[in-house]
Structure 1
Amino acid sequence: MEKPVLEQKMTRYHVFPGITLCFSTYVGDKCILPHEVHDGVMHINHCRQGRIGWKMKDDMTFYLGPGDLLLHMMDCCARSEMSFPYGYYQGVSIEVDLYCLTENPPQILKEAGINGDQLYEKFFSNQGRPVAMAASDKIEHIFSELYDLPTTVRVPYFKLKVQELLLFLSIMEISKNVEIDRHLSAQTEIIREIHARITGQLNRRFTIDELAREYLINTSTLKSVFKAVYGMPIASYMKHYRVNQGAKLLRETGDSIAVIAGKVGYENQSKFTKAFKDIYKVLPTEYRKQF
């Protein structure tokens, strides 16, 4: 059963007139944060850790993993639902008033001839739809330096990095190679139901065909949307999930490794041990000793 957000932390910084930077942390499964719509305001969202899904207007959902970027106008998310497939999320969002950027740009952007009208035309001329971009070295270079800064240089550094980001966006080429697919929210809801089913019955090994028939979804759609929502192919995800549950039992119970293997869906201890070492790089016995 999904849990609402249990922990939420947001820290805002006013960087320039009309430009705000906000660090966010959520712990839980889902969250709804309705807000007023201010015309001409663009949001830029960067995922640092965890995973987030945005159900926006027009019944479309976007999922971001570490390093991914999402640009959207404020009206797209005024009544949106956010979900957190891993149970947590940490990231940063930058709010840009495009009217203010045009009228009163920071000096470096003014010298480069960048304004809000140009950014809107570039990214939202297609009916104002959001644009999601996959992680890249260039995106990582900009955002990695925003986190964990000393207090004394935080705001001046933010001013530099926000201008660098807007410069980067103004010259980047948008192509199918960098965009992340959007998905119908109805499809993602089915995938979340499938996820609850397969993680709730670890003693069973479901096949893709079996799940597709039961939930009336095409097999290729099931595989592609599951990967979009949870960040891995279904088989890889379940391997990690089973092993992580096994690690929790190793830490919190005195059960034998053979018993734990059975509880998380492995038919024998040796297969569990091999999978565990693949992921944790140590044997279950060594892992247990650490705790």
Structure 2
Amino acid sequence: MINTTLPQSNTVPACTALGSGVWLAFRHIAGTSAPAVPPPATGAHLLSVEFCRRGRHALPAGDYCTIAADGHAAVSMTAAGADDYYPGAVYEGLQFWIDPDAQTGSGFLALMGLDVHGIINYFCAGGPYYCPMGDELAALVDELWREFDVSGYASPGELRYAVVRLLYMLLQLPYADQMAWYPRAQVDLVRDAETLMLADLSVRHTARELAVQFGVSESSFKAYCRDVLGDGYLPYFRRKRLEKAADLLAHTDLKVQDIAVQVGYESQSKFAKAFADQFRLTPLEYRRLAEK
């Protein structure tokens, strides 16, 4: 049976409270709209620690953003209830938040020798911290993912222990990577353009058309997309259209011609060729394999 990895809607698990001012989530985001997933709306500012297995996450710092990508760890301060942006609407990772003002000497982090304010000063004094996880930390994240996320169950004690292990291993990582910073206005522009495009994939918007709409040059618009989405404007949205088509083939009985129209192809033959180039299968072959 073919692995159809695009669900029909975003799946974002609720945060699990692990103690006073500590939350953890195994995050899955896969869909055709850019989601907004806030951290716990408690406390003025939260320490956010994430381990990205797949996808991209915009990390704001004042008027700028950096982009956390797959295989990296990131530590930052975030406002409670902040509106997160995951460019590409695809993300898989483990993330936890700590309210520094809620930590006491009797909390499980302090009892395990972890000083939250010291961690903040170490990692976030100059803005977000961003570094490759390395083999050992990546293996631990994968282990926790298989053990807790795939099984769907873990006791609070097991999850607290997981947070402690992750923090101690994080403290052993080298200094942060050199990060690329992008004006927040540019990131917001790409987010608005992505939301517009993904809202109706049957409509094709040219880069020039969107550049005019958002008041920038076409070359600047394309550069912003490459920086934020990690891919060029045309390849990114072509892939999104074809992924949506694959989802419809796997989960609906719509005719191939109707699916082609829904994802912006007036010609069924051009759609079939583009689909085969992407998936190495014709649309009907993909549907048959998805049904097995």
TM-score normalised by structure 2 residue count: 0.67
**Would you say the 8 A contact 2:245–2:259 is kept in 1?**
yes
**Would you say the 8 A contact 2:201–2:262 is kept in 1?**
no
- How far apart are 1:159 and its partner, in Å? 6.0
Find the counterpart in structure 1 of residue 224 from structure 2: 225
1:124-203 correspondence to structure 2 within 5 Å: 124-126=124-126, 129-133=127-131, 137-149=135-147, 158=159, 161-177=162-178, 179=179, 181-199=180-198, 200=200, 202-203=202-203
Secondary structure of the 2:48 match is strand
Identity of aligned residues (%): 21
Structure 2 unaligned residues grouped into runs of 5+: 1-9
* Residues 1:21 and 1:192: Cα distance change in structure 2 (over 3 Å): closer
Query: What is the Cα-based RMSD across aligned positions, in Å?
Result: 4.3
Find the counterpart in structure 2 of residue 44 from structure 1: 49
1:77 to 79, 82, 88: 79
Provide the C-alpha distance between the structure 2 equivalents of 1:227 and 1:79, rounded to a whole number of angstroms. Answer: 28
Work out which of the two has the higher radius of gyration on C-alpha atoms and give 1 or 2.
1
**Would you say the 8 A contact 1:50–1:65 is kept in 2?**
yes
- How far apart are 1:238 and its partner, in Å? 1.3
**Would you say the 8 A contact 1:9–1:26 is kept in 2?**
no
Secondary structure of the 1:265 match is coil
**Would you say the 8 A contact 2:13–2:25 is kept in 1?**
no
- How far apart are 1:124 and its partner, in Å? 2.3
**Would you say the 8 A contact 2:72–2:131 is kept in 1?**
yes
**Would you say the 8 A contact 1:11–1:24 is kept in 2?**
no
- How far apart are 1:231 and its partner, in Å? 4.2
Provide the C-alpha distance between the structure 1 equivalents of 2:133 and 2:278, rounded to a whole number of angstroms. Answer: 23
**Would you say the 8 A contact 2:131–2:176 is kept in 1?**
no
Find the counterpart in structure 1 of residue 24 from structure 2: 22
- How far apart are 1:243 and its partner, in Å? 0.9
**Would you say the 8 A contact 2:249–2:287 is kept in 1?**
yes
Question: Would you say 1:35 and 2:41 are equivalent positions?
Answer: yes
- How far apart are 1:226 and its partner, in Å? 2.3
- How far apart are 1:162 and its partner, in Å? 4.0
**Would you say the 8 A contact 2:129–2:176 is kept in 1?**
no
Provide the C-alpha distance between the structure 2 equivalents of 1:222 and 1:19, rounded to a whole number of angstroms. Answer: 40
Larger RCO, structures 1/2 (Cα 8 Å, 6+ apart): 2
**Would you say the 8 A contact 2:245–2:263 is kept in 1?**
yes
- How far apart are 1:71 and its partner, in Å? 0.8
Find the counterpart in structure 2 of residue 11 from structure 1: 16
Question: Which amino acid in the other structure matches residue 244 of structure 2?
Answer: Q
Find the counterpart in structure 1 of residue 255 from structure 2: 255
- How far apart are 1:122 and its partner, in Å? 3.2
* Residues 1:196 and 1:125: Cα distance change in structure 2 (over 3 Å): closer
* Residues 1:101 and 1:67: Cα distance change in structure 2 (over 3 Å): farther
Question: Which amino acid in the other structure matches residue 214 of structure 2?
Answer: Y
Provide the C-alpha distance between the structure 2 equivalents of 1:279 and 1:137, rounded to a whole number of angstroms. Answer: 30
- How far apart are 1:44 and its partner, in Å? 0.9
Question: Would you say 1:92 and 2:97 are equivalent positions?
Answer: no
Provide the C-alpha distance between the structure 2 equivalents of 1:283 and 1:135, rounded to a whole number of angstroms. Answer: 38
- Alignment: residue pair count: 271
Secondary structure of the 2:144 match is coil
- How far apart are 1:286 and its partner, in Å? 0.9
**Would you say the 8 A contact 1:43–1:72 is kept in 2?**
yes
**Would you say the 8 A contact 1:22–1:92 is kept in 2?**
yes
**Range with greater deviation from structure 2 (27-36 or 237-246):** 27-36
Provide the C-alpha distance between the structure 1 equivalents of 2:189 and 2:22, rounded to a whole number of angstroms. Answer: 36
Find the counterpart in structure 1 of residue 281 from structure 2: 282
**Range with greater deviation from structure 2 (99-108 or 244-253):** 99-108
**Would you say the 8 A contact 1:19–1:94 is kept in 2?**
no
Provide the C-alpha distance between the structure 1 equivalents of 2:224 and 2:236, rounded to a whole number of angstroms. Answer: 13
Find the counterpart in structure 2 of residue 58 from structure 1: 62
Provide the C-alpha distance between the structure 1 equivalents of 2:282 and 2:92, rounded to a whole number of angstroms. Answer: 30
* Residues 1:232 and 1:91: Cα distance change in structure 2 (over 3 Å): same
